[in-house]
């Protein structure tokens, strides 16, 4: 799990840096120019405006902080352009001064970004990937639908959207449904928890429904959850959802040829602090003739999974970045091996990372997409 420094100290440091950048830029707002001879008002009004923003952004993982961070980012970009325009001088400087309006443009751009980010968060997409394999598949094909990072409650997904989600998944006619973690979290209300568990029971898939936990399903950070691990296990059992934690099962499809499919699910990397069974321990015989679907909440140890025999690895966790520049930072520090989308790991193994079927914390997304992932696999003849 994340330690206290990552959970609390780093967000506070980020808040402090954002506050500093914003305050320095607030001093340039046009309405302050007539107050330059009155230091108390000149320096005090920006501080008052900053205090209001600090109060709005007081939750280190709330939408207020995300909005303030976007404003800070726009201001920083504007400051860089201002410097370059000033160096260019002449018409470039005059046009930019008129457009920038002493920083008012930053507020306007931020408002547009937030509106666009809300729309991007609540728009549920279906992303389809088509893959091939030389291994036998039941009937020569396999369709897998992946839901990941629902986080029902404060984010983009809640029980009011269940009819839409049910219809979208049912229309895909999947052979298997996989839930790759963070299906619930500590913000999920009991009503949402019960409603989504009931939803999972309504879908009937010939290859079953499979779940691997994420870092929020059982292992909570911020609030006392509305459900216990035992309650989740009981409701998933009633819904026909199989929980996989460092184990795998063979799936046989009645009414189709005898080719089975193996589903392997891993324990969450954060919860175990990386001390979980190695891929080679999960499939000690190595690659064989059985098509193997590998589920891991975080996109980690992908090459080891491929070497153990994984043909398709499905993950989530990253949200595709969700709020820029989170995804960029993750890539720079190589926190996750894949931030979003499809990546060929070896000649026989492909990893797919979902952007999330919901959003975490708030209805805002400036990176990635809110999506249902559909993976169509065809057997090469």
Q: Residue 365: which CATH number? A: 3.60.21.10
- Whether 171 and 297 share a structural domain: yes
- Whether 281 and 300 share a structural domain: yes
* Beta strand pairing call for 209-211 and 241-243: parallel
Closest CA to 260 of 252, 268, 248: 252
Tokens linked to 70: 């976007």
Looking at the structure of the chain, the number of domains it has is: 2
- Whether 144 and 50 share a structural domain: no
* Beta strand pairing call for 241-243 and 176-179: unpaired
Residues 82, 84, 86, 90: what is their CA dihedral angle, to the nearest 10 degrees? -120
Residue where one domain finishes, among candidates 72, 88, 120: 120
- Please, what sign has the CA dihedral across residues 164, 167, 173, 178? positive
Closest CA to 210 of 158, 161, 171, 263: 263
Residue where one domain finishes, among candidates 96, 120, 144: 120
- Whether 198 and 292 share a structural domain: yes
Q: What is 40-70 written as a DSSP string? A: HHHHHHHHHHHHHHHHHT-STTSHHHHHHHH
Residue where one domain finishes, among candidates 120, 145, 171: 120
Report the pLDDT value the prediction gives residue 62, as an integer from 0 to 100. Answer: 76
- Whether 103 and 144 share a structural domain: no
Burial class (CB in 10 A: 0-12, 13-18, 19+), 216: buried
- Whether 149 and 99 share a structural domain: no
Q: How far is it, in rounded angstroms, from Cα 18 to Cα 14?
A: 6
Closest CA to 266 of 258, 278, 252, 254: 278
Report the pLDDT value the prediction gives residue 1, as an integer from 0 to 100. Answer: 46
- Whether 205 and 100 share a structural domain: no
- Whether 135 and 162 share a structural domain: yes
pLDDT by 10s per residue, the chain, length 381: 455 565 556 667 777 788 888 899 999 898 888 888 899 998 999 999 999 988 888 876 678 888 888 898 899 999 999 999 999 988 999 999 999 999 999 999 999 999 999 999 999 999 999 999 999 999 899 999 999 999 998 889 999 999 999 999 999 999 999 999 999 998 899 999 999 999 999 999 999 999 999 998 987 677 788 999 999 999 999 999 999 999 999 998 877 667 899 999 999 998 888 889 999 999 888 888 999 999 999 999 999 999 999 999 999 999 998 887 776 666 666 677 888 999 999 999 999 999 999 998 889 998 889 999 999 999 987
Tokens linked to 111: 């408002």
- Whether 186 and 110 share a structural domain: no
- Whether 114 and 128 share a structural domain: no
Which domain covers residue 308, as residue numbers?
A: 124-379
Report the pLDDT value the prediction gives residue 379, as an integer from 0 to 100. Answer: 93
Report the pLDDT value the prediction gives residue 157, as an integer from 0 to 100. Answer: 94
Tokens linked to 379: 């057997």
- Please, what sign has the CA dihedral across residues 284, 287, 291, 296? positive
- Whether 148 and 95 share a structural domain: no
Tokens linked to 39: 């230091």
Residues 59, 267, 143, 317: what is their CA dihedral angle, to the nearest 10 degrees? 20
Q: How many CA atoms lie within 13 A of 187 on its CB side?
A: 18
- Whether 224 and 208 share a structural domain: yes
Phi/psi at 240 (5° precision) = 80, 25
CB 19 within 8 A of CB 54: yes
CB 183 within 8 A of CB 214: yes
């Amino acid at each position: 799990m994340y330690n206290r420094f990552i959970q609390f100290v780093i967000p506070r440091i980020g808040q402090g840096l954002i506050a500093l950048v914003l305050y320095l830029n607030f001093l340039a707002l046009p309405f302050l120019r007539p107050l330059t001879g009155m230091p108390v008002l000149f320096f005090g009004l920006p501080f008052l405006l900053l205090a209001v923003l600090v109060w709005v952004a007081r939750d280190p993982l709330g939408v207020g902080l995300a909005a303030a961070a976007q404003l800070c980012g726009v201001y920083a970009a504007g400051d860089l352009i201002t410097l370059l325009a000033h160096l260019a001088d002449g018409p470039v400087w005059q046009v930019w001064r008129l457009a920038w309006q002493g920083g008012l443009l930053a507020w306007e751009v931020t408002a547009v970004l937030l509106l666009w980010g809300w729309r991007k968060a609540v728009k549920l997409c279906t992303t389809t990937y088509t893959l091939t394999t030389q291994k036998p598949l039941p009937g020569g094909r396999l369709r897998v639908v992946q839901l990941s990072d629902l986080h029902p409650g404060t984010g983009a997904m809640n029980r009011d959207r269940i009819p839409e989600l049910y219809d979208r998944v049912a229309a895909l006619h999947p052979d298997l449904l996989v839930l790759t973690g963070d299906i619930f979290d500590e913000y999920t209300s009991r009503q949402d928890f019960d409603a989504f568990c009931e939803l999972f029971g309504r879908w009937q898939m010939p290859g079953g429904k499979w779940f691997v936990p994420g870092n929020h399903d059982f292992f909570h950070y911020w609030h006392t959850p509305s459900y216990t691990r035992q309650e989740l296990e009981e409701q998933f059992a009633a819904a026909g959802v199989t929980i996989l934690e460092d184990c795998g099962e063979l799936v046989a499809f009645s009414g189709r040829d005898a080719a089975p499919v193996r589903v392997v699910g891993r324990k969450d990397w954060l919860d175990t602090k990386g001390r979980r069974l190695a891929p080679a321990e999960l499939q000690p015989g190595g690659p064989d003739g059985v098509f193997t679907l590998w589920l891991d909440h975080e996109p980690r140890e992908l090459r080891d999974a491929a070497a153990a025999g994984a043909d398709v690895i499905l993950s989530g966790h990253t949200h595709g970045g969700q709020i820029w520049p989170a995804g960029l930072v993750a890539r720079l520090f190589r926190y996750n091996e894949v931030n979003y989308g499809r990546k060929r790991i070896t000649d026989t193994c492909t990893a797919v990372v979902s952007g999330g079927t919901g959003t975490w914390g708030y209805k805002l997304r400036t990176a990635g997409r809110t999506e249902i992932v559909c993976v169509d696999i065809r057997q090469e003849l």
